[in-house]
Amino acid sequence: METSIKSYRTQEYHQPVKRYCRTLDLRNDPELIAEYRRRHSRENIWPEVMAGIREVGILEMEIYILGTRLFMIVETPLEFDWDTAMARLATLPRQQKWEDYMSIFQLTEPGATSAQKWQPMERMFYLYESE
């Protein structure tokens, strides 16, 4: 039975992974939000940014939107260290230029890195198997 609720297939890995969940708010301007979405399309995202994300060890990254709220899910190998990877990402080609450009759309400070913009979320519920 078809439903209007969207669902998304998850990636399968041949290794255990961990997940990071982060959030960020956009400026409340429909034109800016539309442009932000366009800039994140496969056709318009800068190839250097995509390559940098992979280069620092991120396996998967998804960004969801509801109004002005963004929610990012990042999946990495278990040995991945967020702070080390984000420090390295900030030094890669065009990354800071991308972040500066994205700050036009985001409720962030100009010059902020990706790690400074995206705030960590705390998991408050987990449906786990009973022991």
> Average pLDDT per run of 10 along the chain, which is 131 residues long?
77 91 98 98 96 97 97 97 96 93 94 93 86 54
pLDDT of 72: 97
- Of 98, 118, 93, 97, the C-alpha closest to 107 is 118
Residue ranges of domains in the chain? 17-120
Residue 6's CB is within 10 A of a number of other CB atoms, namely 6
In this structure, CATH architecture of domain 17-120: 2-Layer Sandwich (3.30)
Question: Is 99:117 a contact under the CB 8 Å cutoff?
Answer: yes
Give the separation between CA 75 and CA 83, rounded to whole angstroms: 15
pLDDT of 38: 98
What order of strands is seen across the sheet that includes strand 69-77?
Answer: 60-66, 69-77, 17-25, 119-120
In SS3 terms, 1-67 reads as: CCCCCCCCCCCCCCCCEEEEEEEEEECCCHHHHHHHHHHCCCCCCCHHHHHHHHHCCCCEEEEEEEC
Helices 95-102 & 30-39 angle (0-180, nearest 10): 160
Question: Is 106:26 a contact under the CB 8 Å cutoff?
Answer: yes
pLDDT of 131: 54
